[in-house]
């Protein structure tokens, strides 16, 4: 279903983000080889081996490669941290991986004071050198958005910062709790 839909739009040279449902080898191969696009895929249980490998790599993470402090919109304050690696590229059993990354999302509800922390493992066909900090920031901002207004805001920001975003606006965060 996804490939016929993608056939109707111009995605050459663009970044396609997706939740875990579309994190499939066939779609990755299609995007990179046939459509000359890049993918940023969330990795979850439907790609168990990939998920375990990326999670294990980032288990003992140190200082993040990038930190983003999101504006306190929609009743919450968020901080997103990202760690990236290319050291798994030849090892991961998934087509065209240019980097794997982990996003740690800390969120605090302003009204209730309730805090949460979610981890999202991801893979991208873009190499780190080709992915500048603004493009990664736009991707981070998009990943984890849940409300329609946030998605619209995220897409607007992503398009300003990194022309060429095509997005699947759905919750991409892994429900596992962050380590203390």
The predicted-structure confidence for 57-114, as pLDDT tens digits, reads as follows 999 999 988 888 877 777 888 888 888 888 999 899 999 999 998 989 899 998 999 9
Show Cβ contacts of residue 35 under 8 Å, excluding neighbours closer than 6 positions: 6, 11, 12
pLDDT at 66: 84
User: Who has greater pLDDT, 167 or 7?
Assistant: 7
User: Who has greater pLDDT, 176 or 117?
Assistant: 117
pLDDT at 127: 79
Q: What is the pLDDT of residues 9-32, one digit of tens each?
A: 898 988 888 888 888 999 999 999
Q: Is the pLDDT of residue 175 over 50?
A: no
R_g over Cα of the chain: 16
How many Cβ atoms sit within 10 Å of the Cβ of residue 117? 16
pLDDT at 178: 58
- pLDDT (average), residues 129-146: 52
CB 101 within 8 A of CB 154: no
Q: What is the pLDDT of residues 39-53, one digit of tens each?
A: 989 999 999 999 999
Whole-number Å distance between alpha carbons of 77 and 129:
30
Token representation of residue 154: 């995220």
How many Cβ atoms sit within 10 Å of the Cβ of residue 55? 16
Domain that holds residue 9: 2-177
Q: What is the DSSP letter of 180?
A: -
CB 23 within 8 A of CB 44: yes
For 71, 114, 115, 175, the CA distances from 111, given in Å and listed in that order, are 16, 8, 11, 22
What's the number of domains the chain is made of? Answer: 1
């Amino acid at each position: 279903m996804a490939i016929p839909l993608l056939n109707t739009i111009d995605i050459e040279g663009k970044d396609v983000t997706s939740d875990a449902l579309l994190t499939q080898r066939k779609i990755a191969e299609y995007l990179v080889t046939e459509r000359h696009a890049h993918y940023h895929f969330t990795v979850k249980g439907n790609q168990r081996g990939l998920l375990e490998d990326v999670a294990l790599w980032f288990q003992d993470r140190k200082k993040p490669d990038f930190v983003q402090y999101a504006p306190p919109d929609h009743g919450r304050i968020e901080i997103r941290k990202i760690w990236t690696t290319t050291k798994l590229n030849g090892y991961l059993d998934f087509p065209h991986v240019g980097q794997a990354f982990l996003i740690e999302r800390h969120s605090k509800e302003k009204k209730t004071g309730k805090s949460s922390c979610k981890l999202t493992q991801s893979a991208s066909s873009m190499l780190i050198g080709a992915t500048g900090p603004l493009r990664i920031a736009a991707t981070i901002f998009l990943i984890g958005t849940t409300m329609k207004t946030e998605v619209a805001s995220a897409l607007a920001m992503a398009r300003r910062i990194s022309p060429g975003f095509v997005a699947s606006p759905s919750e991409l965060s892994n429900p596992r709790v962050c380590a203390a």
